[in-house]
Amino acid sequence: MVGEDKYLVVAMVMGIIFIGLGIYLYLIDRKISRIEQKQDELAGLNKK
Query: What is the pLDDT, as a whole number, of residue 19?
Result: 98
Query: What is the pLDDT, as a whole number, of residue 3?
Result: 75
pTM metric for this prediction: 0.72
48 by Cβ neighbours in 10 Å (0-12 / 13-18 / 19+) ranks as: exposed
Query: What is the pLDDT, as a whole number, of residue 44?
Result: 81
Query: What is the pLDDT, as a whole number, of residue 47?
Result: 65
Residue-wise over 2-39: b if at least 16 C-beta within 10 A, else e?
eeeeeeeeeeeeeeeeeeeeeeeeeeeeeeeeeeeeee
For the chain of 48 residues, list the mean pLDDT of each consecutive stretch of 10.
83 97 98 94 76
